[in-house]
Amino acid sequence: MNGIHNTSPEACSDFPAVLERVFAFATSVQHYMEAGLTAHGLSRPRASVVWLVHRNGPQTQRALARAIGVTARNVTALVDGLEQSGFVRRVAHPEDRRALLVQLTDQGRSVTARLAAEYERHSAYLFAGLPDEQVRQFVASMDLVMGRLAQVATGTVDR
């Protein structure tokens, strides 16, 4: 594994196998997330909205659209679905008569509290027994690889 830390991509013949492992990991994470969200009546896009409102408080649909990188029409459909399902409601903005805020309902708060508790419990399980330094290295490696994947995906690689 020491060759992986070498900055030259040609230095390690295991890189394709490592990338396969990263993709398998991503698929596992996706299945984990979708199963957990489905159990609570949420899709991933809807959960993104609910989680942002949970973390940052009531927000306009415009702010939500910007935060999750979708169009205004897209976020309207997401909020409509969440409102019909009882997760959020739209309320008048206290300072802007033209705007509405999206806020969690009691059901939305209850679901996000359960999701947060599951998240904490599963994180503790996944990383239990690993030394702090190994966890820090894992996070640093993941940050680096995710940054590079973003560069490849957007065509901004410096090569």
Q: What is the pLDDT of residues 2-56, one digit of tens each?
A: 444 445 555 567 788 888 988 899 899 899 888 889 989 999 999 999 999 999 9
The two tokens of residue 135 are 């966890």
Q: What is the pLDDT of residues 91-131, one digit of tens each?
A: 999 998 888 999 999 999 999 999 999 989 999 999 999 99
For tokens 């027994």, the residue is 129
Provide the CB-side half-sphere exposure for 131 (13 A, CA). Answer: 3
Q: Tell me: pLDDT of 158 over 80.
A: no
Sign of the torsion angle spanned by Cα atoms 104, 106, 108, 110: positive
The whole-angstrom separation of Cα 79 and Cα 64 is 10
pTM over 0.85? The answer is no
CA distance 50 to 109: 9
